[in-house]
Structure 1
């Protein structure tokens, strides 16, 4: 009985096995349905590129948006072009372009898609659709290029371009492919991962001729792309455009900040460029033109250009000197014993020294900060004094990055003990007499225009600032990094700012600011600076805020090779302040004068000197 049951089980499984073998034989040898389907159809994976996030100004005005275009890709292993001349005629390319591009694609990968032709318009795309059946291995993907509502704000905004081979290799998340576009500079680069969105993918059935037969598995495997997050900037586009117009025919920077929030209202780098020209097929030609321009229009000067602050740095000296206890509102110095020159006036107190920008006053004040209450030899006293001074000055952001959301910020130079030991090749090789020029913002101290606008904001706030930033909200929630909401104290008590602000007000009303830089019905306080320049006329600098009470705007203006700060930078700053606070400018004559003022000849003379060969060399 047991033996019969065992034989029955063996027989059952034997029959089942024979059925399976028979079915497999039928499918694989006799029935050619699946073979024909495999021959005639394939699954094409189509990457869907999301629209890049748009950019708006502080009032919701659109600055940057996307225009749909079509990119032609090829997969070298599958690409078939029987008639190269016909292909070139259809797509409007030369034979040399065809050969070069296909060779580059094969070198990159024979199985991965490579960009062949970019940014075809809807009209161009429609005109070549019927011809695609003749070119297996080529296919289109929808893309978009950046379109700009305004020519302003280009340097801070930045631009997008095709990802470089090195960046493609070095990428962290394997997101990009050859031919993809990526933010290169400005907020386009800083917020790249926010702006780029998330790719989608679509699986389509295509036959052997490349004709699409519908979604694979009815689209159940498709993933829709997710557009990038929009950026809501703090830029006031009307003020940005106005400031740009004032900085035409000039080289320099203008930065305006809302003191209470750290939001950047305007950021001008002059000369600038037209970002709309760095899109599509114009990119290479226009970029080369910009890159070779000796005026460096691609450089975003506000966070990355280097200048000596000149007399504007005297405001820091006044605040630090009071906090350290070495000077006060009633402290008076004469010109006697000072190696720096000044204008024809007698001894002044701190307020007066700021009003007339007295060099000897701040030389003597700095000397006290370095030498008083220190012991040892001359070097030891100089080192101890300089260290306590530089530690406090660093709190204002000098010699370090403020953290602006642009990605190309430079630290600048705040000379300290370590710095001078390095410059003079060791300890005891320098002393106060070697460094006193930094007392008036010259010598080794180097700053950016952004840093000086932030200084104006610090004084407006009486001792604190919020890190300056261009973007005030991201996405639907308009969220922002807490870093850009957190106040930073500079370590100087608020009571010490009063005399400094009084002196700044005097400087505007009856001091170093000329008449063109005064606004009759707005109480603006400021400080002029003239930054020494060995290669040409001095740079003109002015920093200010307004109104004096409850300030709404802090500003810094740098105009290269324009001379005295009160005659060039101050009037430009005052016009921007007036325009922002009143939404109009009543001083039309001053406005016209400085819109038409041209300081470029002064700059060109410096450029020509740099380019000229040195006749002393053999």
Structure 2
């Protein structure tokens, strides 16, 4: 054994001189080559997230000897105390012999000066190229996410064993969910140095180099034109727009407003910009499309109708004698209509959005004799609602999703101490009370109605280039809902068609298309000075189009904007028209201008916000400048 070891050492040190050179830190420079991170494309193949190159200044503390510290500090615009602090931090984090980032993502002018003088600071300091993200459309910030440096705390966990100090990884959005395919694989390059420590070329013609492997690209269902339009329409508003292709579950657009330019979270000033966004009064980092919960309001009524039809407690001809309020539970619930016959059948009740009709349907559903009591009946109601995708997370492919709320029997028992009946929470039949949904869940419910009983999990990524994973498998599976028959869906669909053609949603009409929709007004109550206070209602509209062979389902929430027909419906209509026709009729220019000019932000919140100054020129576009992007005249 001893002879074998001696022979092997002789072979390495004498015969194979290149190995001895490789071990000689004075002769060979080991350089990490970071891979190109995967690109993200929209449904039409346009790059909406790509890579730019910047440089980190890295340090190996034990190799920092006899350098001109004053000159380096002058270039980096730091003092000597800060220089010593950074060296100490590097040693504490990674030890004196390992490479640490000394100054990340150098601004271009700083990099230029360092590059000219780098030989003066070697071998202790090196410049390492770093891929950073760029966003050519300045859109989809909360969808795409951002990358950041892996922290020492992360490196202590097994899940991050493949990373080294100084590596970057996805922190939010698609960057985080698909980190494993976007990240690629690091490479190593060995360079020969001269007596001034300057790299002179590859060692042994690159024989020992390991090539970096680029990350895989993502192909999205998202349409960036639709995304930009949605962000324009939601400017100066709080709320969300979600549009889904019901045939696949692919998300066409997801807007959370107010939004921000994703380029703010890349490059040299990422940390500073993040702090300002995090503390901004408009909460731009909060993705309202998947994290905010709203009472669905009247947009819930089609689901209430489907449950009643499927349970057999009504037929499409069922009518209710509403005279302007529901008074059967001892407290009146107002309805916007008083005229006789406005709820004479299901189709009319949907078209006229009769509150009395749908709270009564809920009571009929849970009080049905076949359940043997209201508690079992309510649990069956909850099972239906859960199958429609409410009250739990859907499983979208970006992190942070909220499950909303749909109270079950156990929850009712806790809330009412086991003493309750069908009158206790009848509001859920009209989308109020103990039911809360995210805009994503509302849009997905429209997919279910459009498809007459099934949906695919909503998702952004349609394809991964050269994919050898199972990441997308769950998004290909069809989810059938509650075995509800087509005959139950048709009267609901026709009622939603009537909403747009002659009811509360006429403003959502699209020339040449049959649109099915439902307006909603979500109550907005909040605790103000210790008291429950009613604030201005949220505007809600849900829809799909065309009625036959639907291609798009959409949900729009505009906070503090009143009736659903006022702002949410026209925004949804413009989104659908743009997607279906690839243009917007010039007849709608005045309507679009009104939407662009309307501001729902609280004056106090807006005054304290710094978002416009952060977003720069794009935030300062006038309505007329935006209109020129969509209309030629």
Q: TM-score, normalised by structure 2?
A: 0.85
Instruction: State the match for 1:580 in structure 2.
Output: 579
Determine the C-alpha separation between the residues in 1 that align with 2:409 and 2:228.
43
Q: Secondary structure at the match of 2:57?
A: strand
Match of 1:120 in 2: 106
Deviation string, structure 1 residues 25-59 (Cα, Å, up to 9, x no partner):
xx99xxxxx99998883543322110111111100
The runs of 5 or more residues in structure 2 that have no matched partner are 527-534, 610-633
Contact residue 526 and residue 544 of structure 1 kept, 8 A? yes
Partner residue, 1:446 = 436
Residue 264, structure 1, aligned to residue 251, structure 2 = yes
Displacement of 1:171: 4.9
The equivalent of 1:467 in structure 2 is 457
Distance 1:108 1:604, change over 3 A: closer
Change over 3 Å in CA distance of 1:177–1:38 after alignment to 2? closer
Q: Distance in 2 between matches of 1:38 and 1:286?
A: 43
2:579 is aligned with 1:590:
no
Tell me, in whole angstroms, the C-alpha distance in 2 between the residues paired with 1:333 and 1:576: 35
Deviation of 1:440 after TM superposition, in Å, equals: 1.1
**Does residue 219 of structure 1 match 2:206?**
yes
Of the structure 1 ranges 90-99 and 270-279, higher mean CA displacement relative to structure 2 is found in 90-99
Matching residue of 2:398: 406
> 1:519–1:578: 8 Å Cα contact kept in structure 2?
yes
Look up the match of 1:516: 507
The structure 2 residue matched to 1:341, chosen from 334, 337, 353, is 334
Secondary structure of the residue aligned to 1:537 is strand
SS at match of 2:524: coil
Among 120, 128, 134, which residue is 1:134 paired with?
Answer: 120
Task: Name the structure 1 match of 2:552.
Answer: 553
Structure 1 residue aligned with 2:64: 79
Deviation at 1:435, TM superposition (A): 1.6
The secondary structure found in structure 1 opposite 2:369 is coil
Over 3 Å counting, the alpha-carbon distance change for 1:41 and 1:422 in structure 2 is: same
Is structure 2 residue 92 aligned with structure 1 residue 107? yes
| Contact residue 199 and residue 225 of structure 1 kept, 8 A | yes
Alignment match, 1:614: none
What secondary structure does 1:313 align onto?
helix
Determine if contact 1:562/1:602 at 8 Å carries over to the other structure: no
Matched with 2:621 is none
Q: Which residue of 2 aligns with 1:613?
A: none
Pick the aligned partner of 2:50 from 62, 65, 70: 65
Aligned with 1:538: secondary structure?
A: strand
Distance in 2 (CA, whole Å) between partners of 1:504 and 1:273 is 34
Q: Note closer, same or farther for the CA distance 1:605–1:430 as it changes in structure 2 (3 Å cut).
A: farther
User: Relative to structure 1, is the Cα distance of residues 317 and 74 closer, same or farther in structure 2, using a 3 angstrom cutoff?
Assistant: same
- C-alpha offsets along residues 149-208 of structure 1, whole Å, 9 cap, x if unaligned? 111211111111222333232252422223322211111111111111111112334467
Q: Residue 367 in 1 paired to residue 359 in 2?
A: no
Give the distance between the partners of 1:581 and 1:603, measured in 2 at CA. 39
> Residues of 2 paired with 1:605 and 1:224: CA distance?
50
Alignment match, 1:181: 168
Rounded Cα–Cα distance in structure 1 between residues aligned with 2:232 and 2:592: 10
**Which residue in 1 is equivalent to 2:532?**
none
In the alignment, structure 1 residue 145 sits paired with structure 2 residue 132: yes
Separation of aligned partners in 2, 1:122 and 1:580: 40
Asked whether the equivalents of residues 41 and 207 of structure 1 are also in contact (C-alpha less than 8 Å), the reply is no
Select 1:353's aligned residue among 349, 352, 363.
Answer: 349
Asked whether the 8 Å contact 1:75–1:112 carries over to 2, the reply is yes
SS where residue 349 of structure 2 aligns? helix
Q: 1:374·1:384 contact (CA, 8 Å) conserved in 2?
A: no
Matched, 1:416 2:408: yes
Counterpart position of 1:390: 382
Decide whether the 8 Å contact of 1:537 with 1:602 is kept in 2: no
**Who is 1:46 aligned against?**
31
Further displaced range: 114-123 or 136-145 = 114-123
The answer to whether structure 1 residue 571 and structure 2 residue 570 are counterparts is yes
1:229 is paired with a residue whose SS is coil
User: TM-score w.r.t. structure 1 length?
Assistant: 0.87
More displaced, 556-565 or 199-208? 199-208
Measured after TM superposition, the shift of residue 444 of structure 1 is 1.4
In 2: Cα distance, 1:596 partner to 1:109 partner: 53
Which digits, 9 at most, give the CA deviation of each residue in 1:286-329, with x for residues without a partner? 11111111211011111111111111111111111111111220
Inter-CA distance 78–305: structure 2 relative to 1 (3 Å threshold)? same
Unpaired runs of 5+ in structure 1?
A: 1-16, 29-33, 609-618
* Cα pair 2:281 2:605 within 8 Å, conserved: no
Q: Secondary structure of 1:333's partner? A: coil
Aligned counterpart for 1:199 among listed residues 181, 186, 189: 186
> How many Å separate the matches in 1 of 2:579 and 2:206?
53
Does 2:265 correspond to 1:286?
no
Q: Structure 1 residues 198 and 350 mapped into 2: Cα distance closer, same or farther (>3 Å)?
A: same
The answer on whether the counterparts of 2:34 and 2:212 sit within 8 Å (CA) in structure 1 is: yes
Change (3 A) 1:243 1:529: same
Measure, in 1, the Cα distance between the counterparts of 2:384 and 2:576: 30
Residues 87-106 of structure 1: pairs in structure 2 closer than 5 A: 87-106=72-91
Q: Give the aligned length.
A: 575
What is the CA–CA distance in structure 2 between the aligned matches of 1:201 and 1:139, rounded to whole Å?
14
Q: Distance in 1 between matches of 2:311 and 2:79?
A: 72
SS at match of 2:406: coil
Is the deviation greater in 491-500 or in 177-186?
177-186
Distance 1:37 1:285 in 2: 41
Q: Deviations over 1:531-561 (max 9, x none)?
A: 1011321111000011111111111000001
Matches of 2:579 and 2:201, distance apart in 1: 57
Equivalent-residue separation in structure 1 for 2:149 and 2:205 (angstroms): 34
Give, in whole Å, the separation in 1 of the partners of 2:545 and 2:564. Answer: 18
- Report the alpha carbon displacement of residue 597 of structure 1 after superposing the two structures with TM: 1.4
CA positional deviation for 1:478: 10
Work out whether residues 76 and 109 of structure 1, in 8 Å CA contact, stay in contact via their aligned partners in 2: no
- Higher mean Cα deviation, 133-142 or 298-307? 133-142
Instruction: Flag the 1:36–1:240 CA change in 2: closer, same or farther, 3 A.
Output: closer
* Contact 1:400–1:412 under 8 Å retained in 2: yes
